[in-house]
Every structure is written in structure tokens, then in C-alpha cells.
Structure 1
Amino acid sequence: MIPLKTLGRMLRPGLIVAMAVLMTGCDWSLFDPKGHIAREELTLLITCTVLMLLVVIPVIIMTLVFAWKYRASNTSARYEPKWSHSTAIEVVVWSIPCMIVLVLAVLTWRSSHALDPYKPLESDKKAITIEAVSLDWKWLFIYPEENVAVVNELTFPVGAPLNFKLTSDTVMNAFFIPHLGSMVYSMAGMETKLHLIADEAGSFDGMSSHYSGAGFNKMHFKAHAVTDEQYQQWLAKVRAEGSVLDQASLTELGAQKNHDWFPVTYYASTQAGLFDAMIARHMGDNHHYGMKHDRSDAAANGVSHEGHDAGDTAPQAEHHSGEHAAAGHAGHSGSGE
């Protein structure tokens, strides 16, 4: 019978090769930034990791060295059973970690403000506003300035700041494009914000990074960073091939609880105020941000959250415009995004 130690030595090279082969299929998008925010976040991640390794690596090495040097069979090692204190050792083991923690604290404080997802980005190009809505289980992107909307596809010019306004028409979700940077949650009855930018052209994977139900694994999309000319061509294509996104079509879209990936769908024009109306209808009469009324309470008050038509939602969105801004601010401070 082969001893376990010998078997382990025999299998070790094979395991290393197998791990290397498997790792070749991994998506290293976090380590392949395509925008300013993602690049700064990668720099912060590497810097913090290296600083922490300044403690971790010496500790691992000393553990192995001490275990070998002071093993029971090594009779030449110094044996001091009554030793209890060394000022030099105390200075080293406390001062170095304290300095590293101090440096990490300064780095994270500065980067937390510099990379705040609510902070607008500066650029020579005009910023593009995109209203992102998480549905079951797909993403709806409304371009209010262009008056178009798309399901499960993002297209934007290279170098243009992207001002995302996020909400959910269902459960909480998380919007994330790893190549471009920060992840931010979308929540019903609340508006969160995210600012990103792409520094080079390409197609990047976007996803929901928060479990939200049976179709969660199909809740992904492509984000295309293109030239200005290609962006205008894409807008013309959407307007030529798309239908109209109004309250009725939005309700129909949300009712489709797709478990498979929902195909890219274009909307050539959109009804004004849909994004604000979606937020308002989840706030309820008592303005509990992000909370829905119980159906029995809603019925008692003569309110139906699923029965809003275009005539109901637009005035309600206007009425709650002040609270809507407060909800966005409260969501930012409360969630720590």
C-alpha cells in the first residue's frame, strides 16, 4: 500500500497542471479594466493586497521556520522555558501592523470619496443618462434624452460619462459591469446612482451580481462601448426596429417571468416619466421607501399597485418628486453605496 505522503507527492504535479488548465477558463474581467473607475479600483485592490502580504508572508515563513528549528528532535536549539518577554519583538510585532493599518485606513478613506459611485465623472464628452430598471429576470435600459429603451443591451460612446439611475420594479438586485467598475444595488421604491466611463471600445459582460430568483443566472447583458458614429447608427437602428414603451407595454414586459435569457428588445420611443412612476408606485401612500403595502391594506385604501395606468402614474410621479429625491439620498447613505 502506498503511504499517504508518497501518494500526495505523486499527485501534486497533476493537481497543479489541472488547476492551471481550469484557471485558463476563468473570467479575469476584474483584472482587465476598460475604464477609469475600474482601473482605480484595481490599483486599490492590488495595493491593499500587497500591504497585507507584508504581514502575512513573514508570519507564514516564520511559522514554518520556527516549527522546523524548534522541533523535538533538534537538541541543538535553544531551550528557554522561563522566557516571557522581549521588547524588541514587541516593537516589531506591533509597530509594523499598526503602520500598515494606518496606511490602509488613509488609502480606503481617500479612495472611498474619490471613487464614490454617486460622484459625477469629468470628461470632454457629453454625459449620457441611462435609467436602469431590474425586472424578473432581465434589465431594462431607458435613454430619456434619446427617448429610446432597450432590454438586455447597453450601447454608449467611448469616453462619454455614463450617469446611471437605478431602481427595481421587483425584488432587490445588483447592477455590475466588471470591466467598468463599481457595483450598485437597485431597489424598489428607491433610486440609486452610478457613474461609469469606458476608455476603450469593446463589448463587456454585464450582470446581476445579487441572487434574485429562479431566472437569476440568465439575468445578464452586453455593454457595447462604440465610437460616436456607431452610437448614432445604433440609435437609428433602435428607432427603426423598435416599438413603443408605455405603461401597458411595461406592465406586459414585467409580467413575463422569463427563466431563460430574455432576447434583446428595442423600443423606438418611450412614455415620459416611466422611471419616476415605477419608483412612486412602490413607495406607497405613507412613503415607506422601498416597502410595498400589503394587498389588504391597499384594497382598504382604494389603492392598487399593479393597476396603475398612464393617467395614474404620471401625476403620482409628479406629486412624489420631492420625496423621490430624498429617497435617492436616503438610499445612498443608508446602503453605503
Structure 2
Amino acid sequence: MGLPLALAGCSPATILSPDGPIADANRTILLNSLVIMLAIVIPTIVATLAFAWWFREGNTKAKYRPDFVYSGRIEMIVWSIPILVILFLGGVIWVGSHDLDPRRPIQSTMPPLEVQVVSLDWKWLFIYPREGIATVNMLMIPVGRPVHFRLTSASVMNTFFVPRLGSMIYTMNRMETELNLRADRPGTIYGQSAHFSGDGFSDMNFGVRSVPPTEFANWVARTRTQGPTLDARGYAALYKQSSNVKPFSYRATQPGLFEAIVSQKIKPQPGPSTGGGRDPNISPEPLEHK
């Protein structure tokens, strides 16, 4: 099945319906910030309407004071409310920035699943170093187990974002970033590139399948028996610019491939150019969706 069909059953891509603790905390920060800002927006709207009504032409009780210059009480109200809003928003952001540090591990009794992520033009490569397998445009993770991502780009700067799981983070050429996420419910979640990177950007999406641990173990075992091998030759084929690539898997991966991409021992891609499209030289095995 093609990627559009694979993603058709994904949950809505919204941070307001979190499937993990990081996304839930992000939603809390968003709602708290909204409430804090409404504390000044709503009174301002009400005051505007009240002033317009009170100082209407037909209201003889309203005093006309053209020589009015200063009021300490008005100045206190006008300046104290914005200052309080800034203090509250700053506090929320300060606490959230430390609690949701992308590099900060998620507390769990289970060891994190290690996944190495490489953004290419215009597809996503996911390497499972401990399992020795890899996938393209499909990420399989076990429910309830933290996932530690190491991310880089083989081309231009990009952004890895799974709205229902949590924080968005950039992938950059010759640099490595880290992200820790966890899915608390089974299902297929929409993931995307959130930074424009050329002609194939709009199709640079992927599905995140969160499954029970036993099903994940079975999937790993099946994947090791099918598909091509991701070695230098396989990466050279995948490396070429292509879009609308169907999800597929590699049964084995060359050790140290991610590190070679980060250090540019493997030459980086030249970046987006005209004429991008699906590369006819890539004929991968489809990723099993059962």
C-alpha cells in the first residue's frame, strides 16, 4: 500500500489529543498560556465595549474632561496586568523548558528503545541499531516503552514532528540532536516534516505505529527475514532524491552507518533541486502493516 493509504488510518495530527506524556505536558503548557493571556484579552474587550457604551453621545452622565492628564490608579492597572501576564507566562515557559528538555530521559522501569533518525530528500530513514534493522517512512514502537531518538540530516535542515507524541525537533547536517518520546496507547499516529525542504516537502510524511511489546518483538523477528540490506550500496540507492516513497524495511543494517552520516564520512546530499520525484531505481520491499 502507498504512503497516503498507510496514513489514511492515522489519528488526527493534533497536539490537543496527546498519546504520550510529552505531548500531554505540551498541551498543558498551551492551555495554561491561553488562560493567562485571556486574563488580559477578555477584560480589554469588555472594557472597550463598556467605554464605547458609557461615553456615547446620548449619555449625559458621562463627564467630558479634555484637560485630564494623569491618574495613578489607571497607570497602576494599565501596567500591572501586562507585567503579571509576562511573569506568569515566563514562569510557565521556564518550568516547561526544563521539564520537557528533549534530551531528558523519560522515567520508566523499561530501558528505552534506541532509534536513529535520518532526514533525506524527501523521506525518513529510521535505524534500530540494537535490533539491526531499519525502515523508511514508517516507525514502529512498543506501547509504554520510552524511545530515545538520535537525529541528523543527510541533506538540508529539516524538522521531525509527531504532534500526538510531543516535542518537535530539528535535524541538521553534520549535527546530532536527541529526543525522548513515549506512546501510551496503541494505534497509528501521523508524523511529518515541519520545515520546508524543497519540492517533495509536502509528501515527507510517515506513520508511527505503536503496538504491544510482544507484537513489536514479533515484527522485529519478521523484518529480519525480509527486505534488502542497508549497507553502503543500499544507502547510496536510498540517498537519491525521491518523493512518495512507499514504506519499506531493511532486514539488516551496516553497523556505524548513522555515525558515518553524522560525521560526513558518507558524503551528504547536495540538497533540493528541480526535477525531484520518485526514483525509479529504488525498488524496496513493502513494509508489512499487519
TM-score normalized with structure 1 length = 0.74
SS at match of 2:164: coil
Gaps of 5+ in 1: 1-25, 285-289, 293-337
Shift of 1:124: 1.2
Contact 1:143 1:149 in 2 (8 A): yes
Aligned residue among 45, 68, 72 for 1:60 = 45
* Aligned counterparts of 2:248 and 2:76: Cα–Cα separation in 1: 64
Shift of 1:71: 2.7
TM-score normalized with structure 2 length = 0.85
Query: Which residue matches 2:150?
Result: 165
Query: Which residue matches 1:263?
Result: 246
Query: Which residue matches 1:41?
Result: 26
Whose relative contact order is higher, 1 or 2, with alpha carbons under 8 Å and at least 6 apart?
Answer: 2
List aligned pairs for 1:193-212, cutoff 5 A.
Answer: 193-212=178-197
Contact 1:131 1:164 in 2 (8 A): yes
SS at match of 2:251: strand
Aligned residue among 177, 199, 204 for 1:219 = 204
* Aligned counterparts of 2:137 and 2:222: Cα–Cα separation in 1: 16
Shift of 1:42: 0.4
CA offset digits 1:63-119 (Å, max 9, x no partner): 122122213344442111111222222222222222222122122111101100011
Query: Which residue matches 2:111?
Result: 126
Tell whether 2:204 aligns with 1:233: no
Amino acid at match of 1:271: Q
Shift of 1:49: 0.9
Larger Rg: 1
Amino acid at match of 2:258: F
CA offset digits 1:195-245 (Å, max 9, x no partner): 111111111000000000101111001101110111011112211222110
* Aligned counterparts of 1:237 and 1:152: Cα–Cα separation in 2: 18
* Aligned counterparts of 1:237 and 1:291: Cα–Cα separation in 2: 31
Contact 1:69 1:77 in 2 (8 A): yes
Amino acid at match of 1:264: P
Query: Which residue matches 2:230?
Result: 245
Tell whether 2:157 aligns with 1:138: no
Query: Which residue matches 1:313?
Result: none
Aligned residue among 173, 181, 184 for 2:166 = 181
CA offset digits 1:134-176 (Å, max 9, x no partner): 0110000000000000001111111111100000111111000
Gaps of 5+ in 2: 1-10, 271-290
* Aligned counterparts of 1:81 and 1:75: Cα–Cα separation in 2: 16
SS at match of 1:210: coil
Contact 1:282 1:291 in 2 (8 A): no
Contact 2:12 2:190 in 1 (8 A): no
Task: Kindly report the root-mean-square deviation, in angstroms, between the aligned alpha carbons of the 2 structures.
Answer: 2.0
The runs of at least 4 consecutive aligned structure 1 residues that moved more than 4 Å come to: none
SS at match of 1:64: helix
Number of residues paired by the alignment?
260
* Aligned counterparts of 2:204 and 2:257: Cα–Cα separation in 1: 22
Aligned residue among 263, 269, 273 for 2:256 = 273
* Aligned counterparts of 1:54 and 1:27: Cα–Cα separation in 2: 30
* Aligned counterparts of 1:117 and 1:197: Cα–Cα separation in 2: 12
Query: Which residue matches 2:282?
Result: none
**Aligned in 2, Cα 1:291/1:98: closer, same or farther, shift over 3 Å?**
farther
